[in-house]
Amino acid sequence: MALLTIPRVCLSKLGLLLVFVVAILDVAITLPMKSSPSHPVLPPSRPVPPPPRSRPEPPPSPTHPDPSPTPEEFESGFPLRTDIAI
């Protein structure tokens, strides 16, 4: 009943003041949260697994000789070996 005695103009001004105060408080609360690094905007991503360990190359097998040409083969332009499997 007490609200009926307050003029309508005063109620509208109080309403606008209340909206203004709520807007300022909203900005004041959310602005530090956006700029703070302790509150990330994006969720943390899954940790990246470490790269797989490279296996050491096995030593050359005695049954499979080194296919690289010898200096004589390289100079002559064609292979001189006959033990290389095709």
pLDDT tens string 8-57: 666 678 888 899 999 998 888 887 766 656 655 566 567 777 777 777 77
86: in domain? no
The tally of domains found in the chain comes to 1
> Which pLDDT score is estimated for 21?
93
74: in domain? no
Element (H, E) at 12: helix 8-35
19: in domain? yes
- Report whether 65 contacts 83 (CB < 8 A): yes
76: in domain? no
29: in domain? yes
Tokens 């100079």, residue? 75
21: in domain? yes
Q: How many alpha carbons fall within 13 Å on the CB side of residue 78? A: 1
User: Range of 22's domain?
Assistant: 8-33
22: in domain? yes
DSSP class of residue 80? -
Does 21 or 82 have the greater pLDDT score?
A: 21
Query: What are φ and ψ of residue 69, in 5° steps?
Result: -70, 150
| Predicted confidence (pLDDT) at residue 84 exceeds the cutoff of 70 | no
